[in-house]
């Protein structure tokens, strides 16, 4: 079997096209969706992420603002910025780029963000609502994975989904979303992590295998069964002197070997990564629509 390669860029483009229509409808009512990103310090990866998010906003007519602060900002100063953004009518989404420097307490900052503007879906209110199966702002990468599967008619209902990784950003929320009694869910979910015994045999049970552990090409062909759907969330930089930047991006899956056994597989780059920003835009537009509803 040779897998269908899931085209994250194509699906993300389709989502952006739908959002453009919704943004135009908002603008007719004098509402421009707005996203504010707070970037603390000079971590190169975070700078790239925030720049891409801002560019993606501008391209579809979402107003974007990046607030850059030095790594030695105090917790109080950062909290004041979030408080100010919570109160602003022109800001529908607030994103504090993680990780934050060690002296800042991430949870205290996340808790302060108005849950209605929490377009990352990281606030415990939104995480709790999601867990209980209530509509809410969903965290972007797991939501993007579900939208990718929807687009390729991969219905997880009744399937064995195995998730490698238990992060708060991807593994845990994705497993909970797929577990819900809802459409594009109803899966039987298993979480794996560094203490899982006999990882290989658990992975080989998977109808849908999600790799989100941050280890380059960790999933090898002997770990998957024929016909598996593979979702690769990894974005690992590995040194490559032949590449212009001196590195190349690889996922958590040995793509070339696994594509021969899988029915569907996401590439890196061009798979899940493209969806995260599309879902961030989607959450920002949704938040603006709720504001417009209140303005009516």
* Catalytic-residue membership of 274: no
Nearest distance in Å: CB 51, ligand GUN: 13
What is the spatial distance between Cα 24 and Cα 32, in angstroms, rounded to a whole number?
A: 9
Indicate whether 284 belongs to the interface with ligand GUN (CB under 6 A): no
Q: In what order do the strands lie in the sheet with 34-40?
A: 63-69, 34-40, 93-96
Instruction: Calculate the alpha carbon distances from 26 to 51, 218, 296 in Å.
Output: 25, 45, 11
Judged by CB under 6 A, the residue of 78, 140, 145, 286 near ligand GUN is 140
Instruction: Read off the tokens for 169.
Output: 């950003």
Window of 81-89, 95-103, 219-227, 243-251 that interacts with ligand GUN by CB under 6 A:
95-103
Closer residue to ligand GUN, CB minimum distance, 120 or 217: 120
Window of 26-34, 93-101, 178-186, 198-206 that interacts with ligand GUN by CB under 6 A:
93-101
Instruction: Read off the tokens for 190.
Output: 């298993």
Instruction: Read off the tokens for 223.
Output: 């770990």
Nearest distance in Å: CB 235, ligand GUN: 10
Closer residue to ligand GUN, CB minimum distance, 31 or 116: 116
**Closest to 57 measured CA to CA, from 20, 105, 110:** 20
Q: Which residues of 26-47 are buried (b: 16+ CB within 10 A; e: fewer)?
A: beeeebebbbbbbbbbebeebe
Indicate whether 120 belongs to the interface with ligand GUN (CB under 6 A): yes
If 0-12 CB within 10 Å is exposed, 13-18 middle and 19+ buried, where does residue 255 land? buried
* Catalytic-residue membership of 120: yes
Instruction: Read off the tokens for 23.
Output: 């943004």
Nearest distance in Å: CB 294, ligand GUN: 25
* Catalytic-residue membership of 117: no
Measured in Å, how far apart are the chain's first and last C-alpha atoms? 54
Pairing type for strands 236-239 and 247-250 reads antiparallel
38-77 footprint of ligand GUN as x/- string (CB under 6 A): ----------------------------------------
Closer residue to ligand GUN, CB minimum distance, 228 or 233: 233
Nearest distance in Å: CB 38, ligand GUN: 9
Instruction: Calculate the alpha carbon distances from 80 to 47, 83, 95, 175 in Å.
Output: 22, 5, 14, 34
Nearest distance in Å: CB 171, ligand GUN: 13
Indicate whether 118 belongs to the interface with ligand GUN (CB under 6 A): no
Judged by CB under 6 A, the residue of 54, 67, 79, 98 near ligand GUN is 98
Using CB positions, name the residue nearest to ligand GUN. 98
Catalytically active residues, by annotation: 53, 97, 120
Contact set with ligand GUN (CB under 6 A): 95-98, 120, 140, 169
């Amino acid at each position: 079997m040779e897998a269908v390669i899931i085209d994250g860029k194509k699906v993300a483009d389709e989502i952006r096209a739908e959002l453009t229509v919704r943004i135009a409808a908002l603008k007719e009512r004098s509402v421009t969706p707005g996203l504010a990103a707070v970037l603390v310090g000079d971590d190169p990866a975070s700078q790239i992420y925030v720049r891409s998010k801002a560019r993606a906003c501008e391209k579809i007519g979402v107003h974007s603002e990046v607030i850059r602060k030095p790594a030695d900002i105090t917790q109080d100063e950062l909290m004041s910025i979030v408080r100010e953004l919570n109160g602003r009518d022109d800001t529908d989404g607030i994103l504090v780029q993680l990780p934050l420097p060690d002296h800042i307490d991430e949870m205290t900052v996340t808790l302060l963000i108005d849950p209605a503007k929490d377009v990352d879906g990281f606030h415990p209110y939104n995480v709790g609502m999601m867990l209980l199966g209530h509509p809410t702002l969903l965290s972007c990468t797991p939501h993007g994975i579900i939208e990718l599967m929807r687009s390729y008619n991969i219905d997880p209902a009744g399937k064995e989904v195995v998730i490698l990784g238990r992060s708060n950003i991807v593994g845990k929320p994705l497993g909970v979303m797929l577990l819900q009694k809802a459409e594009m869910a109803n899966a039987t979910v298993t979480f794996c992590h560094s203490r899982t015994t006999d990882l290989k045999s658990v992975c080989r049970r998977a109808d849908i295998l999600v790799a989100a552990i941050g280890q380059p090409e960790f999933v090898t062909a002997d770990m998957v069964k024929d016909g598996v759907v593979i979702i690769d969330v990894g974005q690992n930089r590995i040194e490559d002197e032949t590449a212009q930047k001196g590195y190349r991006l690889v996922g958590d899956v040995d793509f070339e070997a696994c594509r021969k056994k899988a029915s569907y597989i996401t590439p890196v780059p061009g798979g899940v990564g493209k969806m995260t920003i599309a879902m961030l835009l989607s959450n920002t537009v949704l938040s603006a629509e709720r504001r417009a509803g209140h303005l009516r």
